[in-house]
Amino acid sequence: MTVARKKQTDAPRLAITQVRSRIGRPARQRRILDALGLRRHQQTVVHNDTPAIRGMIGRIPHLVEVREITEE
């Protein structure tokens, strides 16, 4: 029996931009930025909208800006 899986492109996507510097931030916050793939100030990465990603964003809302990507 095969299980139908949702296509990766059908999942909602988030564009996450680092808007504040990591300098002087606690190590925990720097590790979260690293886990999200944010290495530089003003860098933007795109991730699927999952509870894990939302949880990471929730820990550092003062450092990032989040936009939902709607594909038409």
| DSSP sequence for 4-70 | ----GGGS-EEEEEE-S--TT--HHHHHHHHHHT--STT-EEEEE--HHHHHHHHH-TTTEEEEEE-
* pTM for the predicted model, two decimal places: 0.82
What is the domain partition of the chain in residue ranges? 11-69
* CA gap 35, 51 in Å, rounded: 14
**What CATH number matches the domain at 11-69, 3.40.30.10, 3.30.1390.20, 3.20.20.140, 3.90.1200.10?**
3.30.1390.20
Q: What's the pLDDT at 5?
A: 56
pLDDT along the chain (72 residues), means of 10: 59 95 97 97 96 97 96 66
* pLDDT at site 31: 98
